[in-house]
Structure 1
Amino acid sequence: MRNAFAGLLSLIATATGCAHAEGLDANASAGKRLAVAADCVACHTAPGGKAFAGGYPLSSPMGVIYSTNITPSKTVGIGNYSRDEFARAVRDGVAADGTHLYPAMPYTSYAKMTDSDISALYDYFMHEVQPVEAATHKTELAFPFNVRASMIGWNALFHSSTRFTPDPAKSAEVNRGDYLVNALAHCDTCHTPRNLLMAADNSKPLAGGALGSWYAPNITADKVSGIGAWSSDEIVAYLRTGHVEGKAQAAGPMAEAVENSLQYLGNDDLKAIAAYLKQTTPIKTDEGKARHEYGQASTDELTLRGGKPEDNPGWHIYSGTCANCHQANGQGNKEYPSLFHNTATSRSDNLIATIVYGVHRTVDGVAIDMPAFGPDALFTDRLTDQQIADVSNYVLTRFGNATQTVTAADVAQTREGGPKAPLAKMAALTIPAIIVLCVLIGLIVFRSVSRRQRKGA
C-alpha cells in the first residue's frame, strides 16, 4: 500500500479541476502543480515583482525577513543548486552554502514531502521558471536573531526530518488531506499555535495561532471552537473561493493562500483537505460559541439617525463609511457580506486588521476588494486609530462578539505588526543582560586579582 500511496502523493494537485485556472492548464507539469499547491509564489514574489524573484517582506516577531530569489539564476538565485542541495534547503532549511534559513520558510512542514515530489519541484524550478538576475534585500535582524547558527540548536529541538507516512487505518482520501494540510500546503504552519521559542506546539495541532496583525483560527473538528459545524462542501467552497455565505470570508494571509494556491487545486484535493479536517481531534479553545453564530441585524438606523456624533461615534462612522456596502442593518447584499454570522466579527484582532488593511483576493479572475481604512490607507477615507476602535466596538456590539472591546492602542499595535511574541520581548533584554554579566565577571576578576596582590604583598 505504501508504494501505491507514494505514487498517489506525487500526483497531488493534478486533478482535472485545475485546468480552469489561469496559468495552470491541463498540460501543466507535476512540478508546477506542486509549486502552486505549496504556494511558493506568495512568499517569493515581491509586490509588483517578477515571479519567484524574492524580496517579499515577511513580518515576524523577530523583525522583517526578506524572501530569497528562487529562480534558476546562477548569480543570485538557485541555478547552481544540485538536486540534493535543493532538497536540503526545502526540507531542512539549509542553503547550498550552509547558511541556515529562518523557519519563516516552512521547511518544518516541507520536511514531510516525498522524494518524488521534491524531485518534481526541482525540475520545475530549474527548467520551467525564468531566471531573474535581481538581488533581493538582505535580511538584517537584531541580535541575537541575526546569529543564524543559532538555528542549529533550534532545529535540534524542534525540527524533524521524518517523511510523511500514510496511516493504514485511514482512507486514502484522509491521508491525502493529511499530506496537503501538514506538508505540501503547510496549513499547520499558520494554524498551529507557537511555543515560547516560536516552534509549533504540536500538542494542539491546528488549534489556532497568531500571525502578526492577523489570527489564524482553530480549524480542528471541534464544533464550537473549530470548523466541526461546517459541512465538507462549505469547507471546499471556502478553500476555493474564500467565501461561505453566513460563515466566513478570507482576508489577509488566508486570502493570499486562496488567490495564489487553493483556488487552483482540483476538487479531489480540496475534498481530501475537508475530509482530513473533519476527522481531526477536536480541540476546545476559548470560544463561547461557534464563530459564525454571533450577531443579528440592527435597527440603529431608525433610532440613532439625527443624534450627535459624540453620543455614538462608532455608529456614525459605520453609517457614513460602512453602511453603503454592508447595509445599515449589517446584513450586506449579493456583493458584500453580512457582518453578523461572520467569523470576521467574532474576534477583535481580525476585525481590526480587516479595517486597517482591507480585503483583497482575486478568484476566477474576479477581484474581491474592501478598501483599507487605516491611517496609512492611500485611496480611501482614512480613519484614526480611535475612529477604528470606535467603529470596531460598534460592529462587535451589534453584529459580533460583544464580549470583546477595542482600544486605540489595540489598533496601533495591529498597524505595528501585532502583539510582540514573548521571545522577542526576552531578546530585548539580551544585550543589557550581557552587559550586566560582563560587569559581574569583571568585578569577580578584579576582586580575585586584588586578593592575590594583597596576599603577595
Structure 2
Amino acid sequence: MALFALAVSAAPASAPDDALIARGAYLAKAGDCIACHTAPRGIPFAGGLKMDTPMGAIYTTNITPDPDTGIGRYTEVDFARALREGIAKDGHNLYPAMPYPSYAKVKDDDAKALYAYFMHGVDPVKQPNRASEIPWPLNMRWPLKLWNAVFLDTKVYADKPGKDATWNRGAYLVQGLGHCGSCHTPRGVGFQEQALDESGPAYLSGAPIDNWFASNLTSEPNAGLGRWSTADIALFVKTGANQHASAFGSMTDVINHSTQWLETDDANAIAHYLKSLPAAGGSGMPPYHDDPHGVPTSLAIPANDSGAKVYATYCMHCHGSNGRAFAPLLAPLVGNPAVLEPNPTSMINVTLNGTQALVINGLPDAYPMPKFSSVLTDQEVADVLTFVRSHWNNASTAVSASEVVKLREATAHAPK
C-alpha cells in the first residue's frame, strides 16, 4: 500500500477530465457497486441495504460524495485503501461483505478512475449510515485485522505469463471488479473464499448464499459450464439468458445493473477465461447427454405421479411437455445446470418466490418466473422438482418436503 500511496495524490488538485469520470462510471458498473450500496427503492449509492451475516445484520454504507455521511472527505489514498484493504478513512476495518479481497486486485489506474467517478460523477446524498445489528462483543472490529492478516492477499492483479491478452483481461475482471468468487466460491471455516483465483480447486465451483445456490462457473459438464460454448457464456453475461439457462435470484441484479453494460470485448474476455477453468464441484455423475430424439415424457393424459400432475398443471405451458421451453425467451429445464446441481436450493427458491424480470436495454423480460408459494404445498413443490430433476435425462437428486419447508421459512420475511 505504501508504494501505491506514492503513485496517487493525497487530494485531487482539480476536477478530473470527463473521460476519466466516464471510465470510472464504466468500472463501477463492472463492479456492480450500485447493487450493494443501494437499498430497495433507495437513492443510488446512498447505502442502507441490509445484509444478513452469521453474526447478525449489517447495512451497506453511503458512498456518495456527501462530506458528512458519505465519502466526500476521502482522499484518493483513503479511497484506494478502503477499496483494496477494507479500511475506512477513520481506520476502522470494513466487514468482508465488502468484497475487498477481490478489489485488492484492482489496478492503480482503475482505482483512480473509480475515485474520479464517485467524487465527480455521483450526486452527494445526505443519508447517515445505519449501525450494524451484530451484538457485542461480536461487533468488535479488531478481529478483522487478524482476518486480513490470514486471508487478505493485497497483490494487484498481474498478467499471467503464457496467457493471451483476452484471457488476462477476463481473469482480471472476474477475479477483481467482477468479484465473482464472492458468491460463486465456497467459504471456509473463517467465512473466507476458499480460493481467489484458478490456482485453487474450489474457485467458482458454486456456493450457497442468501437462500440461493450461486452456480458452478467451472467446466463441470452438468452443473457447470462444460457444455456451454464461449459464445453461450458471453450471451448470458450480456443478456442473462441463452439456450441452456436464464438468470435468477441476485444474478438478475448483476445482469440488470452490471454485466449487460460491459463492452463486447470485455464480455468475450470473461467468457474466454471462464471457459478455461478446469471442472470442479458438481455431482460426479457422467456428463449429461441430451437426446432430442428420445421418447418425451407423456403429459397428455393424467398421470399417477404427483410431480407430473403439478408440472402439467402449472409448468408445462411455459417450459413445455418436453422441458425444452422456448429458450432464451423461457428457460429450458432439459440439461439446465441449476436443475442438475446437487444442491436444490435455487430450484426450491425460484419455485416458491419466482424471480424479478431481466431488464435488457430498458426492456423488461415478458415472462419472469412467477411465484408459487401461495399455490403449491411443500410436498407439491418437492414432487414437481423431483419430477423435473429425474426426467429428460436430467438424472439429478430428489427434493424432500422438509427442504422446501426450510426454504419457505427462511424466505418468508425476505425483503421484496
TM-score above 0.5: yes
5 Å-filtered alignment, 1:225-240, equals 226-240=224-238
Deviations 1:324-380 (A, max 9, x none): 3223443323632222122232232221121123122212222224344254xxxxx
> Structure 1: how far apart are the matches of 2:130 and 2:92?
16
* Alignment correspondent of 1:256: 253
> Structure 2: how far apart are the matches of 1:221 and 1:345?
16
Alignment coverage as a number of residue pairs? 383
* Alignment correspondent of 1:244: 242
Going from structure 1 to structure 2, the CA distance change for 1:297 and 1:238 (only over 3 Å counts) comes to: farther
Deviations 1:277-332 (A, max 9, x none): 22234435424144685997754422326xxxxx5433333233222322344332
> Structure 2: how far apart are the matches of 1:137 and 1:72?
17
CA RMSD of aligned residues (A): 2.6
> Structure 1: how far apart are the matches of 2:245 and 2:369?
18
* Alignment correspondent of 1:269: 266
Going from structure 1 to structure 2, the CA distance change for 1:294 and 1:99 (only over 3 Å counts) comes to: farther
> Structure 1: how far apart are the matches of 2:291 and 2:224?
15
CA contact (8 A) 1:29 1:124 kept: yes
Q: Tell me which of 44, 58, 62 is aligned to 1:65.
A: 58
* Alignment correspondent of 2:87: 94
* Alignment correspondent of 1:345: 339
> Structure 2: how far apart are the matches of 1:164 and 1:116?
12
* Alignment correspondent of 2:276: 279
Deviations 1:169-207 (A, max 9, x none): 211111111110101111122222111111111232222
> Structure 2: how far apart are the matches of 1:294 and 1:217?
24
> Structure 2: how far apart are the matches of 1:122 and 1:357?
38
Paired-residue identity, %:
39
Deviations 1:39-90 (A, max 9, x none): 1011111111111111122233333332111111122111111111111111
CA contact (8 A) 1:291 1:342 kept: no
TM-score by length of 2: 0.84
> Structure 2: how far apart are the matches of 1:136 and 1:290?
49
Give secondary structure in 1 for the equivalent of 2:301: helix
Q: Say yes or no: does 1:178 pair with 2:176.
A: no
* Alignment correspondent of 1:433: none
* Alignment correspondent of 2:351: 355
Going from structure 1 to structure 2, the CA distance change for 1:108 and 1:129 (only over 3 Å counts) comes to: same
Please, which moves more after superposition, 317-326 or 328-337? 328-337
CA contact (8 A) 2:219 2:279 kept: yes
Going from structure 1 to structure 2, the CA distance change for 1:77 and 1:253 (only over 3 Å counts) comes to: same
> Structure 1: any 5+ residue segments left out of the alignment?
1-24, 306-310, 376-380, 419-457
Going from structure 1 to structure 2, the CA distance change for 1:402 and 1:277 (only over 3 Å counts) comes to: closer
Structure showing greater Rg: 1
> Structure 1: how far apart are the matches of 2:155 and 2:68?
32
Q: Tell me which of 314, 317, 322 is aligned to 2:315.
A: 322
CA contact (8 A) 1:106 1:186 kept: yes
Give secondary structure in 2 for the equivalent of 1:210: strand
> Structure 2: how far apart are the matches of 1:399 and 1:417?
31
* Alignment correspondent of 1:110: 103
**Cα distance, 1:26 vs structure 2:** 10
> Structure 2: any 5+ residue segments left out of the alignment?
1-17, 412-416
Deviations 1:116-171 (A, max 9, x none): 11111111011110111223443212455422222111111101111111113211
Look up the equivalent residue of 1:116 and give its one-letter code.
D
Going from structure 1 to structure 2, the CA distance change for 1:304 and 1:40 (only over 3 Å counts) comes to: same
Going from structure 1 to structure 2, the CA distance change for 1:98 and 1:349 (only over 3 Å counts) comes to: same
CA contact (8 A) 1:294 1:401 kept: no
5 Å-filtered alignment, 1:207-226, equals 207-224=205-222, 226=224
Higher helix share: 1
5 Å-filtered alignment, 1:13-412, equals 29-142=22-135, 145-202=138-195, 203=200, 204-224=202-222, 226-245=224-243, 247-283=244-280, 285-290=282-287, 293=290, 298-304=296-302, 312-333=305-326, 335-347=329-341, 348-360=344-356, 361-368=358-365, 369-373=367-371, 375=373, 381-399=374-392, 401-412=394-405
Going from structure 1 to structure 2, the CA distance change for 1:109 and 1:322 (only over 3 Å counts) comes to: same
CA contact (8 A) 1:222 1:228 kept: yes
> Structure 1: how far apart are the matches of 2:326 and 2:227?
24
Look up the equivalent residue of 1:250 and give its one-letter code.
A
TM-score by length of 1: 0.77
Look up the equivalent residue of 1:273 and give its one-letter code.
I
> Structure 2: how far apart are the matches of 1:412 and 1:26?
52
**Cα distance, 1:409 vs structure 2:** 2.3
CA contact (8 A) 1:239 1:258 kept: yes
